[in-house]
Amino acid sequence: MVKGIGTNVDTRRVNGSIKRLVSELEFFKSIGFDYVEIPAAGLDVIVRGRIIKKRLERVKEILSNYNFRYTVHAPDVINLKRKTNPWHYRVMEAVIEFAGEINAEVIVYHYNEVDHSIDVPERIQRRAEILALRELANLAKEKGIVIGIENVQHPVSEVLELVKQVNHPNVRLTIDIGHLFILTSYRGLNFYEELKKGLPYAVELHVSDNFGESPQTYQQIPDVEAFRFVYGIGDLHLPIGEGDIPYNRVLKIIRESDFSGIVILEINSMDRFADEYADSLNLLRRRLILAANNNKTKKRRKVK
């Protein structure tokens, strides 16, 4: 059964503001979330791959005032394939240190692209990522943290291959439903099959809504949030039910898979959708937790 349902403090939204962090935590408390995903890049705790102790202590004090459980989102740009730039590894080390300090359960790491602009073969870059993740997973294990590798612009099945090659109990999947819907729509892949393949290996799910429209199809439209909303382009992070993702079937698949990780609702535009957070949370609770409990009760009655 799902461990709990949370939401994210968005990197760009908080943008280093402690005041904004507190405001969002208060809001999430009023809604009733179990988890909050904290951005490692949004709080100025990590600078040049180092922990700023004074800032860390301030953030820890704030987080300790709430009964949330926490996960951490590593900076989107970290790419452990790029061995020629050691700062990716060093920043990830600092993220693990930060996550350990706030007792986070999961660190989300983006599965990023092979860099074809550098004179390093693709197989070497992929091997570098595998070895780096094995080393970092050992650090995470010491702190009781699992690294969840998130699908961004690749099928879940491809990310799953990396998880299997790393072959470490502290490296699993984070499945982003919105990313998967856009990617499978654009490439003509089977959305449901990709989801089903990944769920047994997932430690965390990211849920939000969109229209399955890839930015690749609309390259003439500037990457401006207001324009993307008008055209329904890309990963809009809408409340559940505001887009075209078939969540009735998606939530049924998740429930029937016996997924037992964390669900994070990612609505990045709080200014637009503050009123919709509660509706999305209630839907997830009703369809994932209450429905699962009801099914278990029915099964026990049948056994008797």
Statement: residue 76 has pLDDT above 90: yes
What 3-state class would DSSP assign to 36?
strand
Among all chains, which residue has been given the structure tokens 């459980």? 69
Length of the chain: 304
Among all chains, which residue has been given the structure tokens 């839907």? 283
Euclidean distance between CA atoms 194 and 186, whole angstroms: 14
Average pLDDT over residues 121-141: 95
Q: What is the pLDDT of residue 46?
A: 95
Statement: residue 292 has pLDDT above 70: no
Mean pLDDT estimate for the chain: 93
What's the maximum distance between 2 C-alpha atoms anywhere in the chain? 66
Q: What is the pLDDT of residue 55?
A: 96
- The answer for 248, left when phi > 0, alpha when psi is -120 to 50, beta otherwise, is alpha
297 or 207, which is more confident? 207
Please state whether beta strands 46-47 and 50-51 pair in parallel, antiparallel, or not at all (unpaired). Answer: antiparallel
Among all chains, which residue has been given the structure tokens 């509706």? 279
Residues 6+ apart with CB under 8 A from 237: 178, 208, 209, 210, 266, 267, 268, 269
Is-contact 152 112, C-beta < 8 A? yes
Statement: residue 217 has pLDDT above 80: yes
Distances (CA, A) of 241 to 6, 160, 209: 18, 28, 7
Is-contact 43 55, C-beta < 8 A? yes
Q: What is the pLDDT of residue 226?
A: 87
What is the set of domains in the chain, with CATH numbers?
Answer: 4-303 (3.20.20.150)
Confidence (pTM): 0.93
